[in-house]
Amino acid sequence: MITCVVDYVIDPEKIADFERFAAEWMRLVRREGGVHHGYFLPAEGASDEARALFSFESLAAYEQYRTLFGVDPEFVAADRIRDESGCVIRYRRTFMRPLLPE
């Protein structure tokens, strides 16, 4: 299993737009066989940080999912939410492997 951790810097004034963007990506990850662990948004105090975690069975499965970016109409529409609203200022992807309790 491989888990993708995406750290976002978001516009705190555009949380509703970010939530729409996030809801679409959770649906699309599931549609493509991944497990979405959720988006984590600011809860208290002033913050412009958010995080998403989702997993695929393997790096090959993740790479197959990535082939749909810019091609699949639903992927393009989900990215359009981000691009047109300006809710994401920047993001960074990291890959991790989970160590889970037995």
Residue 57 predicted with pLDDT over 90: yes
Prediction pTM value? 0.89
Q: What is the pLDDT of residue 43?
A: 85
Judge whether residue 102 has pLDDT over 90. no
What 3-state DSSP class applies to 53?
strand
Residue 45: other Cβ atoms inside 10 A: 5
Q: What is the pLDDT of residues 8-50, one digit of tens each?
A: 999 999 999 999 999 999 999 999 999 999 999 988 777 899 9
Q: What confidence score (pLDDT) does residue 98 get?
A: 82
Place of tokens 């200022």: 89
| Average pLDDT of span 55-66 | 95
